[in-house]
Structure 1
Amino acid sequence: MKRYLDDRVQADLAKKMVFLTGPRQVGKTTLSRHLIAQQGGQYLNYDVPADRAIILHQRWNPLAPLLVLDEIHKMPDWKAWLKGVVDGKLATQQLLVTGSARMDTFRQSGESLAGRFFGLRLHPVSVREWCEQTGAEPDAALTHLLERGGFPEPCLAPDNEQAERWRRQYFDGLVRNDVLEFSRIQEVNAIRLFAELLRSRVGSPLSLASIGRDLAVSPVTLKKYLDILEALYIVFVVRPFHDNIARAVLQTPKVYFYDTGLVVGDDGLRFENLVATALHKHVQWQHDVQGQETGLHYIRTKDGAEVDFALSLQGQLTHLVECKLSDPKPHRALLRFAREQPQAQAVQVVRHLPHSHALGEIQITRADEYLKRLAA
């Protein structure tokens, strides 16, 4: 299946090296091989011993139109090494670097790569992408993604049984193998247990102190575990909006999974997670492709008023988004913040709704229509 970033990656490669990151099995290798099939090239994976030897000795074909290097962030001092590769390669050779862990989490010393690359993040399939690639109607696309999640393999699986088998193996493999890039083997079980607990706490303000008491682990250690799960693109964190960035970082975050299929809970919880993944993809497309300083947040006051999501541009609120399964009545907190923040578009996104309509400051919108209109 062609992905939404195929054309953008190809366009950016004509100008600079491209870093393509994202969750494991989200489609980075398929995208890379699709580009190689189109224009010719060579794919090398640092995890494969034979490929690793070629990478370390730089014995790839210097005339290959496209060189794809996967997982090289596992190499010591990879930034300095890669800078040498970029500066020494032929101008006609394009370079695509891919990885399933965030490259900015690796703090090896070395030369800066600033100005030498474009960074793009590949996300799971969204309602918009499924509609564009399969011709499905938005409501059918939303139903399918709520059932299967947005990762290509379960999304394209012939039945739910195959999708669930993939998911079990995927989650076990991530926690068992990839966590070791960041942590000691003795911590793997603790991180797995923490990840399992998070599956049922999606969308709620996350108290690491409370979870720490349950697991007999310090909040500082849990913060490290959360950073690992985020770095591996298992979860992403949504923080409360505040015009003081330092205060926003310190306040209680909410956590969502890249794979909606991993969420343990009712239909409302899975729906909120799917909307979160769609907004996260939308915001990062605007950041990576359009160069906009965008952000995804939520709003919560000391008196308990809360709106599920808020979008910002250059630190200013632009959108307020509340998720509901079937309730068309305007959410009280959404009404309040719509009046307090008149520059922000207020939308109540409803999964089961006969038709979209406006009620005062609030747009009551069918979820399938809203998600179809997002940027990616």
Structure 2
Amino acid sequence: MIPRLLTAKIRSALEKRPAVALLGPRQVGKTTLAREIADDRPSVYLDLERPADLARLDDPDLYFSENADKLIVLDEVQRMPGLFQTLRSRIDLNRREGRRTGQFLLLGSASNELLNQSAESLAGRISYLELPPLNLLEVGPDHLNQLWVGGGFPDAYLDEADSFEWRMDFIRTYLERDIPALGSRIPAETLRRFWTMLAHNQSQLFNASQIGGALEVKGQTASRYLDLLVDLLLVRRLQPWASNVGKRLVKSPKTYIRDSGLTHALLGLHDLDDILGHPVVGGSWEGFVIENLIAAAPAGAEAFFYRTSAGAEIDLLLKFDKELWAIEVKRTTAPTLKKGFHVACEDVNPTAKWLVYAGEETYPVRNDVTVIPLAELMNRLSDS
């Protein structure tokens, strides 16, 4: 099993809070990671999609009482919204009895649903962590192209021969089973077309009216489709930097399919040659870099992009602690920066300026910009 960077953060969070919620799309490795953490302490694991495990929670308060000295792992917990009030009562009782941390590890694949259900009931009692697909620090920089082409879902990454078919099955299962199970009535073929449009427009501004027109639905409906895929942690909606710099700023978000392997599968791109010959290559690389950098960023980091109507632009702004890093992304081994990046940096005054490229050396260029490989910048972020 590939060690995950989040493991230490989960263990640390369990030492500080009674409950920890681990969010991530299906098949990203949440259950495997949770079982690894549970193996080093007394624990029980319940999958709330299994009837036998659901039956154990006919009387959840009794079950929690009988296992009060164990870590209780609840998988797909958003499927039992009525459980959160019981969790709160049990946590508060355990507190009165002297146990204050490490009681529940909650796994969920629909972020907003889980956040909304737990926010009020477990306020002050829960920490939230997100497990993304495998990143470059986890697999090693020597496997950069393999990770970019096939994406970071463990089953897709570890079996290159079957990777494309696995990703196609993953997409089909989400569309035909998982999304309808959440109560969505969007036709699977309509949502597939929408998802594919996002792949074609990887790293572009989201134009709800334009996409809605292509789907023959209203712009508001297209925005609702986007909300769903964002909630399922399959798509990132990157918001524009909104600080008042006295400029006319672009207000629409940019969208990225969060796993590059899914982007390529939706577009029918099987290998590196297919990707390099496709117009999406730049957008795919940009999304891949951004997801990896956000995965390596310190806890609580905020991500934005910057663009003005005059053409000043920064692909990624990362804000954390007292830092504001401006990051430009280029899929080339001989990168150059356009004037718009320098103008944008004058507007936002970042504490550091980086150009991530496809080469292997780190070196400075004019205006205090450092050209740097992706893995090296990820290391610097993870050490921050």
TM band (smaller chain): 0.7 to 0.9
Alignment match, 2:31:
29
Deviation for aligned residue 1:64: 5.1
Question: Which position in structure 2 is the counterpart of 1:302?
Answer: 309
Q: Sort the Cα spacing of 1:107 and 1:36 in 2 relative to 1 into closer, same or farther, 3 A.
A: closer
Q: Secondary structure at the match of 2:171?
A: helix
253-262 or 355-364, which moves further after superposition? 355-364
* Unaligned stretches of 5+ residues in structure 2: 268-277
CA-to-aligned-CA distance 1:198-242 (integer Å, 9 cap, x gap): 111110111010011111111111111111101111111101111
2:326 is aligned to 320
Query: Closer, same or farther in 2 for the Cα pair 1:249/1:81, shift >3 Å?
Result: farther
Query: Aligned partners of 1:375, 1:261: CA distance in 2, in Å?
Result: 24
| Counterpart pick for 1:369 among 358, 371, 376 | 376
1:115-264 → structure 2 map (5 Å cutoff): 115-131=124-140, 138=141, 140-157=142-159, 160-243=160-243, 251-263=251-263, 264=267
Within 5 Å, give how 1:8-87 maps onto structure 2: 8-16=9-17, 17-58=19-60, 59=63, 61-63=66-68, 65-87=70-92
Aligned to 1:286: 299
1:330-366: CA deviation from partner (whole Å, max 9, x where unpaired) = 2221122223333432211111365533323322223
- Structure 1 length normalisation: TM-score? 0.86
Code of the aligned partner of 1:320: A
The whole-number CA distance in structure 2 between the counterparts of 1:238 and 1:277 is 11
- The whole-number CA distance in structure 2 between the counterparts of 1:250 and 1:73 is 35
Structure 1 position 147, deviation (Å): 2.3
Contact 2:248 2:309 in 1 (8 A): no
The one-letter code of the counterpart of 1:4 is L
Tell me, in whole angstroms, the C-alpha distance in 1 between the residues paired with 2:313 and 2:376. 24
Residue 105 to residue 190, structure 1, CA distance change in 2 (3 Å): farther
* In structure 2, C-alpha distance between the alignment counterparts of 1:332 and 1:43, rounded to whole Å: 55
Q: Is the 8 A contact 1:242 1:248 kept in 2?
A: no
Cα distance between partner residues in 2 of 1:145 and 1:186: 31
d(CA) in 2 for partners of 1:186, 1:118: 32
Give distance in 2, aligned partners of 1:150 and 1:346: 27
User: Is contact 2:362–2:370 with CA below 8 Å preserved after alignment?
Assistant: no
Give the drift of 1:305. 2.9
Distance 1:199 1:306, change over 3 A: same
Aligned-partner Cα distance in 2 for 1:86–1:214: 50
TM-score for both structures, normalised by structure 2:
0.84
**Does 2:342 match 1:335?**
yes
Query: In structure 2, the residue corresponding to 1:286 is in which secondary structure?
Result: coil
The answer on whether the counterparts of 1:105 and 1:231 sit within 8 Å (CA) in structure 2 is no
Instruction: Report if aligned partners of 1:83, 1:111 keep a CA contact under 8 Å in 2.
Output: no
Match of 1:113 among 119, 122, 128: 122
- How many residues are matched? 358
For residue 285 of structure 2, what is the aligned residue in structure 1? 271
Quote the offset at 1:274 in angstroms.
0.8
- Give the Cα–Cα distance (whole angstroms) in 2 for the partners of residues 107 and 5 of structure 1: 23
Per-residue deviation, residues 265-322 of structure 1 (Å, max 9, x unmatched): 5432221111121133234x421xxxxxx321111111233221112247x8711111
Code of the aligned partner of 1:351: A
The answer to whether the 8 Å contact 1:338/1:362 transfers is: no
Which ranges in structure 1 are unaligned for 5 or more consecutive residues? 132-137, 288-293
